[in-house]
Amino acid sequence: MSAQTPASLKVSWVRAHLALILIIIIVVGAVAGASTYYLYNSVNRSNTIFFYEALAPNEADFVQHQLIPEFESNNPGTTVIFVNLSGPSDVANVVEALVKGNNVGSSIVGIDNLVVGEVIYANAVSDLTSMLSAIEPSSLIPSAQKMIAYEQQVYNGATYLIPFHSNIPLVFYQKAALAAAGISNPPSNTTELLTFCNNCGPIMVQGGGSDSTATELYQWMVQFGGNPFLLNDTGDVKTFQYMLQLAPYFNPGYTQGYWGTYTGLAQAPYGQYQILDYQWPYVYNLLTNATNHMTDTNLGVYTGPSGPANSNHLLGGDVLVIPKGATNLPAIEAFTKFLLSSQVQTEMLQKLSWVAINSDAYTNLPQNFTAIGNALLSSIQQGPAPWITQWNGYADDAWTKIIVNNAQPSQVQGILNSENQQLYQFLVNQYGASTAQQYEQNVFKPISVG
């Protein structure tokens, strides 16, 4: 998971199957700073597995220097070549090029679940149904189970992808600030959150616009019982009206808040802000490193306050696919099974704060990782929510008009109606009037609701 996502849908993605856009995929984008490796046809592929991904430098280093050597040591004679590409779209392009060039070889691909539709639509990946029993962990987290079930429903029983690692936003808070205010526990619901902010101080939100803001808004809207696909139903309106109540407690720098905003929580004595609303789990390791010096004594992390309707969370991350025409399937199966094993999933959870899709990874965590592990485990018991990327722009525009510009509560419905009409016109242009009307008739809903 990174701090960037494409601003709009690629043409090939727009053409993809609509139902795939509605799959439980949330906000994963181009990885900043990832390196690109180039391969040459002279590589001996007979006992070689090619693993393609798009990871941040620290993630790539972990895969290259820890995971792959572990696999190779347990599988003498097999070599894994890790190909780290610059972003999810590059991964999709490489998969399609390998298949079109009949040059797949023994390949497996980790791909952002926001762009996996491109390779499925291009008929470039294999149906994994025949090997699913061999590679799928016996114990999957509920969100991963729902992803596979939904995929099979969409594709008439076919399984083109299997979850690899996930990402779920959590809430971080300053324990010392709570203690000073005489508060024992962080807010458990939206009413308590208002009281908390009134007594304890500022809250930091990702209000800087673009995908960061849309991500946070989407989760709020689902938790208020809204349907973000409409943008203007009763729950959506209530969400923005609540955010207007919360806005006076926002940290003054909230309009610059994004996925990389978190260090203010570590400022002495009680932080520049006391609660950091919905940030990705990776910041736990950064807040507790040698620079920021936080520990479980003063850093709290949990699933966040529940909304009036539910406590559902967004689910992002990467999935595994096998390009069509791949060879040496037994070796690919072995490597895939290794990546999904409880041992590897535990290592990724502890080293990278990736949400493990193998539920066994959450057992017997070290004491210094129990807090973040328990928070993640609690979050994944909830259902994930679906996503449509183009929605980001309309949600961000509504945020600016309502929250940043301090609209009156009575203006919320009209502003959201306008955004709804723009979204409707986009759907008409890209998918046709019939599909757009289905949206307006509330056919498409967050999968997690209910």
* CATH number of the structural domain spanning residue 160: 3.40.190.10
Q: Is residue 244 part of a domain?
A: yes
Copy the structure tokens of residue 135.
């590679």
Of 329, 351, 379, which marks where a domain is finished? 379
Contacts of 416-419 with CB under 8 Å at 24 or more apart are: 416/231, 416/232, 416/236, 416/237, 416/240, 417/232, 419/231, 419/232, 419/394, 419/395
With 90 as the cut, is the pLDDT of residue 416 above it?
yes
Q: Examine the domain organization and report whether 137 and 211 are in the same domain.
A: no
Per-residue pLDDT, 270: 82
Q: Is residue 18 part of a domain?
A: no
Which residue has better confidence, 192 or 13?
Answer: 192
> How far apart are alpha carbons 7 and 185 in whole angstroms?
38
Q: Is residue 7 part of a domain?
A: no
- Would you say the C-alpha torsion 195, 218, 233, 147 has a positive or negative sign? negative
With 50 as the cut, is the pLDDT of residue 36 above it?
no
Q: How many domains does the chain have?
A: 2
Q: Is residue 9 part of a domain?
A: no
Of 379, 406, 426, which marks where a domain is finished? 379
Q: Examine the domain organization and report whether 190 and 297 are in the same domain.
A: yes
Most confident of 3-17, 153-167, 327-341, 416-430: 327-341
Q: Examine the domain organization and report whether 261 and 272 are in the same domain.
A: yes
Q: Examine the domain organization and report whether 201 and 138 are in the same domain.
A: no
Per-residue pLDDT, 389: 60
Cα end-to-end distance, the chain, whole Å: 27
Q: What is the pLDDT of residues 170-226, one digit of tens each?
A: 899 999 999 988 999 999 999 999 999 998 889 999 999 877 898 789 889 989 998
Per-residue pLDDT, 39: 42
Per-residue pLDDT, 113: 74
Of 339, 361, 379, which marks where a domain is finished? 379
Which residue has better confidence, 78 or 200?
Answer: 78
Q: Examine the domain organization and report whether 177 and 306 are in the same domain.
A: yes
Per-residue pLDDT, 8: 30
Q: Is residue 116 part of a domain?
A: yes
Copy the structure tokens of residue 282.
């990776």
Q: Is residue 6 part of a domain?
A: no
Across 50-71, average pLDDT: 94
Q: Examine the domain organization and report whether 178 and 163 are in the same domain.
A: no
Nearest partner of 387 among 218, 137, 210, 159, judged by Cα? 218
Owning domain of residue 196: 169-312+388-450
Bridge partner residues of 320 (DSSP):
110, 162
Q: Is residue 4 part of a domain?
A: no
Which residue has better confidence, 5 or 393?
Answer: 393
Q: Examine the domain organization and report whether 277 and 396 are in the same domain.
A: yes
Q: Examine the domain organization and report whether 61 and 143 are in the same domain.
A: yes
Nearest partner of 63 among 372, 335, 373, judged by Cα? 335
Q: Is residue 413 part of a domain?
A: yes
Nearest partner of 323 among 29, 120, 44, judged by Cα? 120
Per-residue pLDDT, 45: 52
Q: Examine the domain organization and report whether 60 and 205 are in the same domain.
A: no
pLDDT band at 286 (very low <50, low <70, confident <90, very high): confident
Q: Examine the domain organization and report whether 144 and 222 are in the same domain.
A: no
Per-residue pLDDT, 49: 97
Q: Examine the domain organization and report whether 303 and 348 are in the same domain.
A: no
Helices marked H in 204-341 — which ranges?
A: 210-223, 234-246, 283-287, 329-339
Angle between helix 412-431 and helix 391-399 axes, rounded to 10 deg: 160
Bridge partner residues of 203 (DSSP):
250, 275
Q: What is the pTM of this model?
A: 0.70
Indicate the SS3 state at residue 249. helix
Instruction: Please count the CA atoms within 13 angstroms of the CA of 95 that sit on its side-chain side.
Output: 32
With 50 as the cut, is the pLDDT of residue 79 above it?
yes
Using alpha carbons only, what angle is made at residue 319 by residues 317 and 321, rounded to the nearest 5 degrees? 160
With 60 as the cut, is the pLDDT of residue 445 above it?
no
> How far apart are alpha carbons 225 and 238 in whole angstroms?
9
Per-residue pLDDT, 77: 93
Q: Examine the domain organization and report whether 201 and 342 are in the same domain.
A: no
With 90 as the cut, is the pLDDT of residue 150 above it?
no
